[in-house]
Amino acid sequence: MNEPKNPSVIAREALKRLAAGHVPPTPANYQACYNEIAKLPNAAPFPEQPLRQIALALTTRDKEQAKVLERLDQAIGRRSWHGIQEALVGFYNAGNGGGARPPVDEPALSPEFSVRLAHFVESVLPALGDENPQVAEMLSTLLGALREVPVDVPKLQAMLASFNRQIQFAAEEQVEIKGSLLKLLHLIIENIGELSLDDSWLKGQIDGLLTVVAPPLTLRHLDEMERRLRDVMEKQSEAKHRSLEAQEEMRQMLSAFIERLATMNESSAVFQGKIEQSAREIEQVKRIEDLAPLLKDVIGATRSMAEETAISRQQLQSLQEKVQATEAELVQLHLELDSASALARHDPLTDALNRKGLDEALAREIAGMRRKDAPLSVCLLDIDNFKKLNDRLGHDVGDSALIHLANVARANMRPTDTLARYGGEEFVILMPDTGLDDGVDAMVRLQRELTKAFFLSGKEKILITFSAGVAQLTAEESGADAIRRADRAMYLAKRAGKNRVMGG
């Protein structure tokens, strides 16, 4: 008689089988494989969530049905199939005037309940995709069972348990696929960025893509990034087309320039030949009157050469002006392209800098601070009671409140200051040439201005306040360290009663 295997041996063998069969190592797959090797019953997990969805779909007509529905909820919590069966039968009887209870071994479901359950099952499938034919086949069989009159409840229970198992497998696989695709997309984007370090406009697109594909994904951010990238691509196409045209124009102008130089060289050679010929003839002249025709020829050749030189100078000057105009046009196109790419460094909601834009601005300001030996203060502010505002009035109003704060902050900042959205309802303000005390005073003034500028939600006036911490960078401190100090000061401001500014 074989001795039972050690659990650790079974576990290793289960992992090997999953790898050999290219089966995703999900908890459910691992458990099934482990049970098979250990010769244990592979009991299906209790479908608590689908059953609760069914219970929520039931509507009560009277107090009796409401009581039965409570018993159904309790039975699901206890994972008691017998209790669930009795509660469903009781719900049916209560809905039919307390009629005779059907036999326990032949439970019945109302047509309305079957239709609701069928709708629930159909609504699950789109979220799982259409790559798994087994799930689609199981769904078709389950829907067929729900359309039978009367519905065979025990058979339906078994089918629901099996369907729930398949849903778990498919859902886990979809999560893994999504995670793998995101990793692959990150690698592709980063690789493109590494290959194109010299193109600032492309670097802006790369930075924006890496920011927008970072979890959690939101459709709003993806749509905004798509719009901005399309704008950059249009400008890129325009710049590329104009660059090709400019290259052709340059080629033609260079060809004309070389041709003109060749003509000038040929004319110079002819002129030099005439002068040399005239010089030889002058040496042989015996009488003064014979010099007149020779001098006339020399003067004519000289005048012709001078005219030709003037024409060549004008043509070369015209070529130079065309070259300069073309260069200026290309510079303008690339400036517009860089400007469009810079949008990829901005938060799409508030138009403040995003985290990537903040990192670049912080590095630039720190370099300037150390070069000029001037102070630099960093403020981290957080809107007070923002979650309550979101819960009470909705996320759209919350987004509008963030936009309102950003607009008021920009209106009261200096042109040299920088506003960035740090995350959620948090913002960072960089204040160059500003010491700690002046930075605190600036944030207090911003609080006063925000108090005057009421935020309107419909006809309701809402007072938005914030708590802030300010830190002045030390000589050797990094930007991240200064932000952490400002964050600690902001937390103290929250603890002190909110709507306050503290230095860190």
What's the pLDDT tens digit per position in 8-34?
Answer: 777 778 778 877 877 777 666 767 777
When pLDDT is averaged across residues 147-164 and rounded to a whole number, the result is 75
Q: What is the pLDDT of residue 191?
A: 59
How confident is the model over 352-381, as pLDDT tens digits?
988 888 998 899 899 889 888 899 999 999
Q: Is the pLDDT of residue 196 over 60?
A: no
Q: Dump the DSSP string for 178-198.
A: HHHHHHHHHHHHHHHHHHTTT
Residue 66 φ then ψ, to 5°: -65, -40
Q: Measuring CA to CA, how many Å separate 241 from each of 175, 236, 248, 330, 448? A: 43, 9, 11, 11, 52
* pTM score of the predicted model: 0.40
| Rounded-to-integer distance, Cα 429 and Cα 376, Å | 11
Q: Is the pLDDT of residue 337 over 80?
A: no
Q: Is the pLDDT of residue 3 over 60?
A: no
**Plot region of 275 (φ>0 → left; ψ -120 to 50 → alpha; else → beta):** alpha
When pLDDT is averaged across residues 69-91 and rounded to a whole number, the result is 81
Q: Which structure tokens are listed for 267?
A: 């004319």
Q: Name, in order, each residue with C-beta under 8 angstroms of 129's C-beta and a sequence gap of 6 or more.
A: 170, 174
How confident is the model over 87-99, as pLDDT tens digits?
888 887 776 655 4
Q: What is the pLDDT of residue 5?
A: 65
Q: What is the pLDDT of residue 493?
A: 93
Q: What is the pLDDT of residue 236?
A: 66
| Rounded-to-integer distance, Cα 409 and Cα 113, Å | 56
